[in-house]
Chain A
């Protein structure tokens, strides 16, 4: 994701947010009062309801009770354009507006006998002659057989009837589009994970996206799914459960991206807190709120640590997390939850894209690296020091002793042939590498007129080794050694294996050239060996190179 577009994106987000809360209300809602009992006259507008109670905790056995709410309409409805009333109320009920029955949602008082009927969210049209500006009365005749302690009007909205219906659908369709985007992201990242099963960050992000998709779906499907109030708790459970998942996974994801000390302990602690909140018997909103809050705090902590440690991407993610705070203050809970979550998910998305970019660069680097190593191997035979010195010696042999010259050419041909065979490989049989060393010694014998020999000990012929590694050690040995008194230099390759590692020891028996002067040049050869070992064994190897009494000693340990 390009960073430059990110602020624009956020701005767009804000605009959408602001427009959604810009509509002016046409009514004012008064205090709702309750009374157990059932009298038809309780529906009328003018009733002395002073003794009614603000709150009743419990209505046993599905008894009928009434509630009265004063409504102040601020504006008379337009002619032929009725107001509607939208309710989210537990229970089955009849709706009276200024004493007139305007709707029915189930069968109040008969719940024990009849099957559940009615829905959690209902919209009723109010006759136009009853919607002049001024005071009105909403009375509900209800029964609460399934949740006798839920005497409450959870949501009450009055607006033009058409708008009430349409706005909800529009809102939910936008949110569904939004959810769809997260569903696609979830599937996409799941496939990415399946393609590379080591990348748990993508899997977690995918799950987060999916949970978020499910959360939006669970929240906004109420616009078209009719649920009886007795079933509403199931929906709330699902939402809490999704919240729990998201609240755990988001900080978990951040903790993967911005590792911090005592990670396991802190994450376990955090999980404990989340579970406590989830299992404690609070009102649903409080539970969700607490989970969201703890998620926010914990993520914030992790990302601040990331910023403090100057980890890549931490600052932008911190920005998104901080941005979700003002949104939380200016918008109602369910809206701030979704915008906050989406902002944080965007932050996670950004992090993931950063990581993917890093991986791609690393991959490209590794390609370049292996090409470089290949060239390095090829270069061994065409670099002027080797090639031109060899040719000079060769000319001399041909001029002075043609038959030996021919043998020299054959040795040279053999080395070139071996190089051709191994040139494109990252691992070759040890036997091939030893053969390469032997031909090289043959060539060097013609050039330097020193008796070289290579001894083997404990070689396992099934083993493989990166190409040119022993050859390079041999070259170093030849370059940095003077012959022993009998004009010979002896090399010895020892192979040992145990349950932890395999070890090649490469010994040179010679008179060393003064060490100080040769220090710098040796680097290039060892660099090649190290790069080759890393290419094939990552970090699982160890190389030592040191002078010893008899000459030089190299060891290559490959850990299993």
Chain B
């Protein structure tokens, strides 16, 4: 009781401090109006004429929508929402028999998650435009999207994790994508423990998911068992620091309640430097321990147009307490969030959300400190390098609430400031602040195209904001979140555009368009379709009864279904519509919906086969139709299904443009 009163006092003190400090800051800098923040030629710089293409793709996380959205830059035009961790009735993802396995987990089918950090695949430290990875925060998973089809191709669950936040950051050649537990949880032995035994029983894990070079297939290569703190963000080393990954950690207090106060007590938390090449050496020596774990691995094939879900049983675990030279802690001021590596790989910029400076660590100094054992002690069995021994220098008075830093091609860094709602530009070599610009409002992550690459593309910085308030026409209490585009080609950053986003634009990555457009698939080839219920031509369309199961092998082409008259189906049957789109032309999907179906529509791409399951519950004639305006005769693209009573003797009949024909 007494304990919690002290906490409340503490909290009040903190809040007062923050409000005062923020107020002071605002009054010092003067309130900036949006109008004055836009320069005269902004419209020209973001105008992409009708029919012209944007310069870049921006892959924006949907945050709590669980999806990924693709925008064009500099126009800010929304191109597509790609379903990943959430069901999407718009195209049937997560509703069709083929895609339902994508959302399977060890906890069963999950229709939603929270997607945070898109991460483009890379070769030699630069984005290659092949895949996009993104994490599921709530039920820990990593997804891989194929950018030739803009579809989710694979999802792997991460066991022994209590929230996959520091993920799926990608090593220099996409050797691994990583995951780190945001929540530490009990992992081994008895899991039914008191929550306040946190300090003794809770552990963290860092997952290393191997990515196959050609196809991108993921497998959980190993997990590191690490101290029970909160792992927040990560970035892989590159160039000189290739072979390492850096994770930011908060809650070194190991609090299990009221973290906003109790996890904000220490002056310093940590950045954890992880030598994954060393971990690989230990594994080669057989030092890893196979431990039981249950996790799903879901793979979608564009050949069968179907996903499979496999439940895996074990994972290779390495305990960093025993294998000492894999992990090192570096003290870092107050609850670091971003943990970002500059293009050369030499500097690691950690952003303490509550810190007054931005520390910049030197990879070389870290290596020297490890060699000289310049440790100040251990934390839970992991050596802690002396702060000064790892530090290259600090960025002084950057602003309030530094969160995340990305880099341009000219040696500058851009750090987002959540509390002071601005972007701060500073020079990496001198750590001098060059410029600052307001964001609208409360920026979280930011994105410089290629900003985590060896060779950043630069040119723009995109602010990803949590709050919009008065920025757009109001839409009731629930408002959109937003992104702003700034020109960074000059010394001063200039705002060009402000646009709303889907869900929460938690983080985004941008890539020159031609790296993605060159691989685009226009239609799936019918002759390569290996779906078990494929109907390759209209003459092969049929309806088959197998006990209570009715399998309808249907085709669609402008502008009819075959068959479009079906009789002989009864109440109590389970009907599967397996529909193949016979079109082979660009941009001719067809949709399918049947009255009373308890699932979404189907949206079937040319050459693709998809299935919905429908259980008729009452007698009657049930219309079905094409939902995607496909041609001048789209409205004629329809059919009827007759449902008879369970006791009916109506034989199974079907046809198009003939009287429904009785089956043999």
The answer to whether A and B assemble together is no
